[in-house]
Amino acid sequence: MHQNFQTCIAGSLPKPAWLSETNKLWPQWRTQGVELAQAKLDATLMWIKAQEDAGLSIIGDGEQSRQHFVHGFLEQVEGIDFEHKVTVGIRDGRYEAQVPQVKGAVTLRSRVHGIEARFLRAHTKHPIKFTLPGPMTIVDTVADRFYGDREKMAFAFAELLNQEALALQADGIDIIQFDEPAFNVYLKDAANWGVPALERAAQGLTCTTAVHVCYGYGIKANLDWKRTLGDEWRQYEKVFPTLARSRIQQVSLEFYHSHVPPELMTLLQGKEVMVGVIDVASATVETPEEVADTIGRALQFVPKARLYPCSNCGLAPMDRHVALQKLLALAHGAALARGRY
Ligand SMILES: [Zn+2]
């Protein structure tokens, strides 16, 4: 029987101190070569076990094998110059990042995430989710010296994402999620070409498809930005209607401790909704009661069978022990909600 309130996390988890620097969005690896490759898998195994022990329904690799959710994919793309990174303002200038330059037509050099995807499949019997950056967010996290047009470049990346996504499906991944925080920044472009590029990336997939649209990791630049957004965050209103008409089946959104009006979830009719019930910008661990209450608020706008309690965003830059406690809160809160609603 299908259990309601299946739990999962948005994607990333903190890397242990023996794998990389901690509490950083772009951490440096501790080691290299075969030793690094082994350390990545060891960390993946640890987080698979931790997610299962916490009681989560859907398991991910915690993105332990990639330095950053966008650049991890780009490292296997031909046409990109990683040697000469430049500093640019990303997410409409919200914060500065060192990004690689696109110098030619992009093609995939090899499989990107095959090793960790098959490793994940081999080590859990739960349904598994795997994340990829969305085309629009990739475009926003590189410096273009070749295409001269963001939409055109997004479709070029969408083709590569589609190749990798089809291969991930063949590896046994059940849910492929594209991360598109840029949808909340470039509202018009998201509806005009962001969603079509996303659909190109998901073309031909028969596994479950998902998109994650958030207000970013819990880093200072994002917290400062959120303070400028006012009492009602209505960004989702611009992109949800287009997403509702798309073939993408699940939408992951930020909710708990945000100023997102919950009624905006009604714009996602027919979709499964991964509702953010865990705050990734605070080290304070939610109680199961708080999580169940948040699920209750979302239930007014999302039917029970389509509501997936989730984290607001990735937990990568957090303290490892806090993240673990938050996984437990998520699972316990969902269990409480099953009895209550
Ligand atoms: Zn996010």
Mean pLDDT, the chain cut into blocks of 10 residues (341 residues total): 89 97 92 97 98 98 95 94 94 91 97 98 98 98 97 98 98 98 96 98 98 91 90 95 97 97 97 98 97 98 97 95 98 98 95
> What local confidence, expressed as pLDDT, does residue 26 receive?
87
Strands (E) across 216-335 are located at 250-253, 272-278, 307-311
H or E segment and range at residue 338: helix 320-340
Distance CA 179, CA 60 (A): 14
Distance CA 50, CA 224 (A): 32
Give residue 92 CA to ligand 1 midpoint distance, Å.
Answer: 16
Give residue 163 CA to ligand 1 midpoint distance, Å.
Answer: 23
Give residue 34 CA to ligand 1 midpoint distance, Å.
Answer: 30
If you write DSSP's letter for every residue of 223-244 in order, what string do you get? HHHHHTS-S---THHHHHHHHH
Give residue 160 CA to ligand 1 midpoint distance, Å.
Answer: 21
Give residue 193 CA to ligand 1 midpoint distance, Å.
Answer: 20
Distance CA 280, CA 256 (A): 10
Rg of the chain over Cα atoms, rounded to whole angstroms, equals: 19
If you write DSSP's letter for every residue of 135-146 in order, what string do you get? HHHHHTTSEESS
> What local confidence, expressed as pLDDT, does residue 220 receive?
87
> What local confidence, expressed as pLDDT, does residue 250 receive?
98
3-state DSSP assignment of residue 212: strand
Distance CA 115, CA 271 (A): 30
pTM: 0.97
If you write DSSP's letter for every residue of 59-121 in order, what string do you get? B--TTTT-SSTTHHHHTTEEEEEEEEEEEEEETTTTEEEEEEEEEEEEEE-S-SSHHHHHHHH
Closest CA to 123 of 52, 226, 186: 52
Give residue 148 CA to ligand 1 midpoint distance, Å.
Answer: 27
Q: CB–CB of 341/305 below 8 Å?
A: no
> What local confidence, expressed as pLDDT, does residue 216 receive?
87
> What local confidence, expressed as pLDDT, does residue 236 receive?
96
Q: For 58-74, write each residue's pLDDT tens digit.
A: 999 999 999 998 989 99
Phi, psi (5° rounding) for residue 277? -115, 0
Give residue 252 CA to ligand 1 midpoint distance, Å.
Answer: 9
Give residue 217 CA to ligand 1 midpoint distance, Å.
Answer: 6
Distance CA 67, CA 79 (A): 20
3-state DSSP assignment of residue 29: strand
> What local confidence, expressed as pLDDT, does residue 285 receive?
98
Ligand 1 is an ion; its neighbours by CB within 5 Å are 214, 313
> What local confidence, expressed as pLDDT, does residue 22 receive?
95
Q: CB–CB of 291/336 below 8 Å?
A: yes
Most distant pair of Cα atoms in the chain: their distance: 56
Give residue 36 CA to ligand 1 midpoint distance, Å.
Answer: 26
Give residue 1 CA to ligand 1 midpoint distance, Å.
Answer: 31
Give residue 322 CA to ligand 1 midpoint distance, Å.
Answer: 18
Give residue 314 CA to ligand 1 midpoint distance, Å.
Answer: 6
Give residue 151 CA to ligand 1 midpoint distance, Å.
Answer: 22
Give residue 113 CA to ligand 1 midpoint distance, Å.
Answer: 19
Give residue 65 CA to ligand 1 midpoint distance, Å.
Answer: 18
